[in-house]
Amino acid sequence: MKGTIIRNATVVNEARTFTADVFVQDGRIAEVSERGISGLRDVNEVEASGLHLMPGVIDDQVHFREPGLTHKEDIAHASAAAAAGGVTSYMEMPNTVPNTLDRVLLEQKYDLAAACSVVNYSFYMGVSNTNLEEVLYVDPRMVCGLKAFLGSSTGNMLVDDPDALTGLFSKAHMILAIHAEDEATVQANTRAAQDRWGDAIPMEQHPLIRSAEACYRSSSNAVALAREHGTRLHVLHISTARELELFSPGSLDGKRITAEACIHHLWFTDEAYATKGSLIKWNPAVKTQADREAIRQAVKDGRIDVVATDHAPHTLEEKSRPYMQCPSGGPLVQHSLVAMLELVRQGVFTLEEVVHKLSHAPARMFDITGRGAIKEGYQADLVMVDLNAPWTVEQGNILSKCGWSPFEGQQFSARVIKTWVNGELAYSDGAVDRTVRVSDSTDETLCTSSLGSDPGLWGTGGTRG
């Protein structure tokens, strides 16, 4: 492959912002030079004066709906949306149909992604009340982690049997990511809302039904179990201020219990139900402004370790149903980076914090070697952005198959200009190159997806043995 030199880029990497030339060859970052690179012949030249270059985003929570729910989303559309949003790697959830509860189904997902994903991928192994034996057979190098729903959401993948939970927390042999909402509390709140409102429960009730109490009960219980058993626990999509007391500030070093925040909980508050209605109905629910401010602060001080999307599309028809029939979730993978950059503009985060939470930290957390930073020898997963090129989210520029976004009408100041995946230009100036295939890579070891240090098989559909 012809090399590419990205000239005069403002590189944001490892807590520094500096001007440099970056040379990409054979899928990897060959050189990063603040003095400039000269003497190269027969390379593609990309002028990046005035533009920022960051490591590609690594999203540790997406629902790409394949197999079984492809009327909502599929890997081809969602990975294209990811590339357009500067997301170069994703970790996908098991609440597809059928649920990813055994190794055969897991293998099928890797095959599906190998055939059409334009960005790197890994898949979680799902946990149920009854599949622990199968879970323990999964090679940690094959998957990014285990996923257990401790409260049911789309797909009713619930782990609620106390013995199953003890078995899982005591034996999990890799990172255990959880959805934490207490099922009994949610059920009781739902019944109370139905008694009061009948079939016409207002969307504004969602954060009171999927309440802060439900979140705290479940996440504190999970953290207690993890402490008891030494589990490597990762609590997904923290949505309340109170839960933050469960996590430690500071770097990832030595942490056995980590937390994730999602874009919607960092952006919206319960005031938005009045205008956005079901388009911001997520589980866990978007809560109060005080919750949002506390989560933002926790991203800054390290109680929240990574930021992700929980990209979870449903069709507009499904989202227009009454509360009880309306599924939770929405598409976000195309807009996570630009939304975070908007929060930089608003003074909430720094550029370096955004790069840390979206790229460096997920790479470290999931032991993904050779990705998540702009360093010589690393895979060239890169995103180039113009921080001053305003544009508006509208139906015509949404790539998710569902065709809508909770951000419709929102103007973002930053625009993704180009995204490289393994050195290949997957997105450039408004167009996704849908012929890019991660599985075409001849590289043996793209990264590891486990907590171990063995060469993993993540996103290398073509090289799995």
Q: Which of residues 390-409 bind ligand DOR (CB under 6 A)?
A: none
- 32 interacts with ligand DOR by CB under 6 A: no
Q: How far apart are CA 63 and CA 84, in angstroms?
A: 17
Of 97, 93, 39, residue with least CA distance to 71? 97
Least distance CB 92 / ligand DOR (angstroms): 11
Give how many residues touch ligand DOR by CB under 6 A.
12
Q: Which residue is nearest to ligand DOR (CB)?
A: 329
Q: How far apart are CA 368 and CA 321, in angstroms?
A: 40
Nearer to ligand DOR, 99 or 448 (CB): 99
- 312 interacts with ligand DOR by CB under 6 A: yes
Nearer to ligand DOR, 153 or 400 (CB): 153
- 157 interacts with ligand DOR by CB under 6 A: no
Region near ligand DOR per CB under 6 A, out of 159-167, 218-226, 322-330, 340-348: 322-330
What is the Cβ-side half-sphere exposure of residue 29, based on CA atoms within 13 angstroms?
Answer: 27
Region near ligand DOR per CB under 6 A, out of 223-231, 325-333, 372-380, 401-409: 325-333
Nearer to ligand DOR, 121 or 282 (CB): 282
- 179 interacts with ligand DOR by CB under 6 A: yes
Q: Which of 110, 124, 247, 282 binds ligand DOR (CB under 6 A)?
A: 282
Q: Which of 122, 131, 153, 189 binds ligand DOR (CB under 6 A)?
A: 153
Nearer to ligand DOR, 265 or 356 (CB): 265
- 63 interacts with ligand DOR by CB under 6 A: yes
Q: How far apart are CA 259 and CA 269, in angstroms?
A: 20
Q: Which of 10, 154, 369, 379 binds ligand DOR (CB under 6 A)?
A: 154
Residue type, 109: K
Q: How far apart are CA 376 and CA 22, in angstroms?
A: 9
Burial 56-89 (b: 16+ CB within 10 A, else e): bbbbbbbbbbbeebbebbbbbbbbbbbbbbbbbb
Nearer to ligand DOR, 56 or 327 (CB): 327
Name the DSSP letter for residue 379. B
3-state secondary structure of 158: strand
Nearer to ligand DOR, 63 or 364 (CB): 63
Greatest C-alpha distance within the chain: 75
Nearer to ligand DOR, 94 or 370 (CB): 94
Least distance CB 282 / ligand DOR (angstroms): 4
- 331 interacts with ligand DOR by CB under 6 A: no
Q: How far apart are CA 125 and CA 363, in angstroms?
A: 19
Residues 6 or more apart in contact with residue 411 via CB below 8 angstroms: 390, 391, 392, 393
Q: Which of 13, 328, 422, 449 binds ligand DOR (CB under 6 A)?
A: 328
Least distance CB 27 / ligand DOR (angstroms): 32
Q: Which of 79, 283, 405, 449 binds ligand DOR (CB under 6 A)?
A: 283
Instruction: Return the structure tokens found at 265.
Output: 């909980």
> Where do the H-state alpha helices sit in 302-447?
316-319, 336-345, 351-355, 361-365
- 95 interacts with ligand DOR by CB under 6 A: yes
Nearer to ligand DOR, 63 or 418 (CB): 63
- 273 interacts with ligand DOR by CB under 6 A: no
- 231 interacts with ligand DOR by CB under 6 A: no
- 336 interacts with ligand DOR by CB under 6 A: no
Classify residue 179 as exposed, middle or buried by CB count within 10 Å of its CB (0-12, 13-18, 19+): buried
Spatial contact of 214 and 189, defined as CB atoms under 8 Å apart = yes
Q: How far apart are CA 143 and CA 91, in angstroms?
A: 9
Residues paired with residue 24 on neighbouring β-strands, in sequence order: 4, 29
Q: How far apart are CA 266 and CA 274, in angstroms?
A: 18
Region near ligand DOR per CB under 6 A, out of 20-28, 286-294, 327-335, 365-373: 327-335
Residue type, 160: D
Give the binding site for ligand DOR (CB under 6 A): 63, 95, 153-154, 179, 282-283, 310, 312, 327-329
